[in-house]
Amino acid sequence: GSRQIQLWHFILELLRKEEYHDVIAWQGDYGEFVIKDPDEVARLWGARKCKPQMNYDKLSRALRYYYNKRILHKTKGKRFTYKFNFNKLVLVNYPFIDMGSTGSSVPQSAPPVPTGAGTHFRFPPSTPSEVLSPNDDLRSPGGMFSSVVRRMGRGSVSDCSDGTSVNSEIEEGNIGAGEERGDRGISGGGGPGGGGGGYRGIIHPRLSHETLFRMYGGPGNPSLSPFPVSPLPGPGGAGLLAPPLSPALSMTPSHLPYTPSPTLSPMLGSHFSFNPEDMKRYLQAHTQSVYNYGLSPRAFLQYPNIVIPQPHRPTADKAGLTGERGERAERAGPEPPHMSPFKFKLQPPPLGRKQRDSSGSGSMSSTSGLGSSLSFSSDLSSASGSGVISASSSTQSLNSAGLPKIKVEPISDIESEEEVEVTDISEEDPDERDEEFELFSPHLSRAPEHRHHHFANGTAAPQHQSHAEDDLDEEVFKAPAPPPPGLMPFYASQHTHSNAHRGLPILKSEPIDAGDTLPPQTGSAGAPQTKCIPLKLRFKRRWSEDQRMEAAQEESDDKKVRPEEERERERQSNGRMEIEEDGTGSGDGDSPPPLAYEGSLPTPLKVSAELHRATAQLSLENKDC
DNA sequence: TCCGGAAAAT
DNA sequence: ATTTTCCGGA
């Protein structure tokens, strides 16, 4: 039944609608949400699935199945609280988003930074585009909740045989009133504060719907049914109209380039897609968070388009400890704006080749600097074709601005990865690394060229790592399909300045070579890679960043797989107690994302804006029972 | 409450 | 393949 809506999609749907804030809402941080009214959520879910007998017990069982899939985790110690593994959900699917250019707007809800290191650090270097497009959009009213929903031809109304008849609010987000809302809900009138009343009152659902539809070029794609999901009466209330609703759109004159269509949708099986713009932002945020958390930069490897500020690193210094790079950050100027708080090794630009390339710039990818050098083998990718190889890596080119951009080497560059992992990120838990690795590099393959390239660099290292173990991953996490060519313009439009020259990412397809594959590190970082690791061992670790912070209250992984360690860790974690509670007073100031719901929500929500945004854009289809 | 095994249902 | 149902156990 992958065809049908999946529970996590549904949850996300609910989460992004303030109508349901009384029932389920983001709380805590970074993907954490609380089911405030389990019965209601179950009821809604049951309605959607036409399973009147649904109850929280069953629903929660379904949620538990997500644990191993790593879509969700339980936040221990907090009742009815779960957490999305958002990274996976998003990043994996939108590797092609260029994070480099988007501006500094990311700050927001990057999850709490443990060390505080992140403060001065801004991942996305400021760029011209940043200037041009102020990030204020983040806060702007309509921003985050616009969404595009793709519906099946008949998807709009699903009728359950039983009388429940409730399906729809979610599906129809915009339709007039929710029938069932009446019963519980938002009784006060629209949840958040009864005061203003829900946005429904403010925006005419219909109107907004139409408007958006239009914006998206709806006519062209009838299947699209964008609608505003959130009120966000912005300051001045101006935000109600369509344009404001989607800052992304407004910023992107030609948002049209990205027209979610079934075929184009990155998520193949699931009908779930994000607006590229938002994704871009999200990714930025994520990136920042990665930095903040001191995660392995490896995460970036999967995203060729990501430009990482180059710490000065003329030559290959392998063990380069991080120390030095730390502080010279220069903003504008031809130099890379930031240094990364953590140490990682960037792939040295292949000098000789680089130059050649710059002149020749034959095929896009390598020259473009951003071209993706990776390919994801996904259903689509196969469809889309095969393989081109992007050149590797590192060719970096100066952008028009003259900023040297360095692209982190995709998987192919094992060496650097290893370096990173082993040398630099000591803190990092091997497991996590694995996780990350796996998370972000679903199905990658190396092109032969890469190898050569590497050697040329002198970095010939035992490369493996391409690891192909994603078999474990679920569909949802499958590698994203290569961005449709049509999408690319998106970037260009966004970043005319620096990125315009970039070529389209190219897909390279390469059969996964088992031999090459490097199994995720199982534990010993330093240990030599073993070619074959038992499947069990390879099982992915569930968590990544925040998990660690949160202290491990969460089990690290599948007990089954690695019983011993896990258990232990878990024990420790359990020992820990959770203090967080709701927040009334917590000074934390939950930061509901920049969104201002109207006024303020009754309940302080601490939500990761990125999460919000991203989820806001998701679309799902198929609501038929 | 939460966790998962098991089996059935879709 | 995912979810529903049922359920014993912590």
Is residue A4 very low, low, confident or very high in pLDDT (cuts 50, 70, 90)? confident
Per domain, the residue ranges of chain A are: 2-93
Confidence of residue A588 (pLDDT cuts 50, 70, 90): very low
Residue A227 Cβ < 7 Å to strand C: no
Helix (H, G, I), strand (E, B) or coil at A430: helix
Q: Is the shortest CB-to-strand distance from A567 to strand B under 7 Å?
A: no
What architecture is the A2-93 domain classified under in CATH?
Answer: Orthogonal Bundle (1.10)
CA angle A610, A230, A132 (to 5 degrees): 55
Query: Nearest-CA residue to the C1' of B10?
Result: A1
What is the average per-residue pLDDT within A51-77? Answer: 95
Which residue is closest, via its CA, to the C1' of B9?
A1
Residue A3: per-residue pLDDT: 75
The sign of the CA dihedral A20, A7, A581, A286 is negative
Whole-number distance in Å between A558 CA and B5 C1'? 15
A529-564 pLDDT, tens digit each: 333 443 333 333 444 333 443 433 333 333 443 433
Integer Cα distance of A237 and A221 in angstroms: 29
Listed residue (A265, A148, A292) closest to A215, CA to CA: A148
Q: What is the pLDDT of residue A455?
A: 32
| Percent of chain A scoring above 70 in pLDDT | 13
Interatomic separation, CA of residue A595 and C1' of nucleotide B3, rounded (Å): 36
Helices and strands of chain A, counted as H and E runs: 26, 8
Whether the CB of A60 is less than 7 Å away from nucleic strand B comes out as: yes
The pLDDT of residue A90: 55
CA A121 – CA A116 distance, rounded (Å): 10
Q: How far is the CA of A483 from the CAs of A85, A261, A466, in angstroms? A: 23, 12, 21
Handedness of CA A530, A532, A538, A544 (dihedral sign): positive
Render pLDDT for A211-245 as a digit per residue (tens, 0 to 9).
222 222 222 222 222 222 222 222 222 222 222 22
3-state secondary structure of A583: coil
Mean pLDDT of the A41-60 span: 96
**A245-249, A346-350, A570-574: least confidently modelled range:** A245-249
Q: Is the CB of A567 under 7 A from strand C?
A: no
Nucleotide nearest to A60 (CA to C1'): B2
Local confidence band at A63 (pLDDT 50, 70, 90 cut-offs)? very high
Which among A570, A569, A542, A535 has a CA at the least distance from the CA of A558? A542
Amino acid at A308: I
Q: How far is the CA of A455 from the C1' of B8 (A)?
A: 55
Give A507-540 as a DSSP string: ----PPPTTT--PPP-S-SSSPP-S---HHHHPP
pLDDT attached to residue A258:
26
Kindly report, residue by residue over A593-613, the tens digit of the pLDDT: 322 222 233 333 344 444 555
Return the pLDDT at A402.
34
Residue-averaged pLDDT of chain A: 41
pLDDT at residue number A85? 87
| B9 C1' to A271 CA distance, Å | 23
Please state whether strand C lies within 7 Å of residue A210 at its CB atom.
no
Interatomic separation, CA of residue A218 and C1' of nucleotide C6, rounded (Å):
46
- The distance (Å) linking the CA of A44 with the C1' of C1 is 23
Using the structure, give the distance in angstroms from the CA atom of A573 to the C1' atom of B6, rounded to a whole number: 29
Residue whose pair of structure tokens reads 């000098």 in the numeric block = A351
The torsion of the CA quartet A530, A532, A535, A539, rounded to 10 degrees, works out to 30
Q: What is the pTM of this model?
A: 0.40
Which nucleotide is nearest to A555 if distance is taken from CA to C1'? B3
Spatial distance from the CA of A74 to the C1' of B5 (Å):
19
C-alpha radius of gyration, chain A, whole number: 23
Nucleotides in chain B with any atom closer than 7 Å to protein CB: 1-6, 9-10
Task: Answer yes or no: is A11 CB < 7 A from strand C.
Answer: no
Query: Is the CB of A58 less than 7 A from some atom of nucleic acid strand C?
Result: yes
Whether any strand B atom is under 7 angstroms from the Cβ of A55: the reply reads no
A555 touches strand B (CB under 7 A): yes
Instruction: Provide the CA A77 to C1' B3 distance, Å, integer.
Output: 14
